[in-house]
Amino acid sequence: MNTNKDSILRKSEAAKPIYSITPFTILDYPDKTACILWFAGCNMRCGYCYNPEIVKGKGKLSFEDALGFLRKRINLLDGVVLSGGESTMHQDLPWLADQIHQMSMKVKIDTNGSRPHVLENLIAQKLVDYVALDFKALPRSFERITDSKLFEEFEQSLEMLLDSDIPFEIRTTLHSSLISAEELIEMADFLYQKGYSGNYYLQHFVGEKETINTLPKSFKRHFTETKHSLPIHVIWRN
């Protein structure tokens, strides 16, 4: 990539975009040993978010901190997950992804889909190898759940991924007081009508730690009873 390395590293050192690093995971990148770089900040405020300290907090680590960590794990890790927060909010993410590729590690992006132009750039430059796209809700519930008006951007990201050859998955966190069983069926049908034929990963909200909003108890059975009504293949992650 044609970039000014010193300028990017100085800017990263000043801003410290990364909140923390999970040094090892075999769950977050399919079939890969990986680490997770958690980027601070997000343009959504989902009430069930498990990472309020990352979403609302400031970064503690620079790109050079992260790269120094990764250099020590060359030949030990297959890939790096860029998560958050929302990693695509950070301007120099393509440069970081390129640096990771130069270490012969794969790059997975976790995203809410709100920055389709960033995804487009990463795909065009072959800087991303796998994407996990969060499907928060349909338009009628999207603003209430995410405190944002970014459904159209999510839809653009979905359509871009469907038109690409990048492996990706779609996932949804479910809380029974926010999304009904009927709406889950509609969400699955929305993906089916768009032409999505991959796995649809569902995660039931479990209130075991602090979240952005205090929410009532959620009941998983409200959703599992719809399994045979869904037009695409669903996998529960909890």
Phi, psi of 171 (to 5 degrees): -140, 150
Domain count, the chain: 1
By residue range, what is the domain housing residue 116?
Answer: 5-172
CA 128, 134, 135, 136 torsion: positive or negative?
negative
DSSP state of 193: H
pLDDT for 3:
61
pLDDT, one tens digit for every residue, the chain (238 residues): 656 888 877 766 667 999 999 999 999 999 999 999 999 999 999 999 999 999 999 999 999 999 999 999 999 999 999 999 999 999 999 999 999 999 999 999 999 999 999 999 999 999 999 999 999 999 999 999 999 999 999 999 999 999 999 999 999 999 999 999 999 999 999 999 999 999 999 999 987 778 999 999 999 988 888 877 889 999 999 8
Amino acid at 201: Y
pLDDT on residue 1: 60
Query: Is residue 123 included in any domain, yes or no?
Result: yes
Answer yes or no: are the C-beta atoms of 95 and 124 closer than 8 Å: no
Between CA 54 and CA 90 the distance in angstroms is: 14
Domain containing residue 125: CATH number: 3.20.20.70
